[in-house]
Amino acid sequence: MHEIGRIRHMSTQELAFFGIQDIAYVRRVEIKGTVAYAIHAADGTQIAVLADRSVAYATVRQHDLEPVSVH
């Protein structure tokens, strides 16, 4: 329970770096009318944009990160 309380009281900066070594976010985007999937670091920095969701997830895993879907 102590860990949950600590997470709830994180600063904005601490939250931005939470999971940065472990997590990458995959988000559906539209570029010029075409659906693509953007990969973002835990701090929100866009890393790549790929045409296929499964390739985006595989790319994240290939770099020893855990993919998390963002809606």
What pTM was computed for the model? 0.71
- Domain definitions of the chain by residue range: 2-70
pLDDT tens digits for the chain (71 residues)?
A: 465 566 677 776 776 666 567 889 999 999 999 999 999 988 788 999 999 999 999 999 999 888 988 76
At 1, which helix (H) or strand (E)?
none
Helix (H, G, I), strand (E, B) or coil at 48: strand
* pLDDT for the residue numbered 39: 96
* pLDDT for the residue numbered 1: 43
* pLDDT for the residue numbered 19: 57
Spatial separation of the C-alpha atoms in residues 26 and 32, rounded to whole Å: 19
* pLDDT for the residue numbered 18: 61
CB 21 within 8 A of CB 34: no
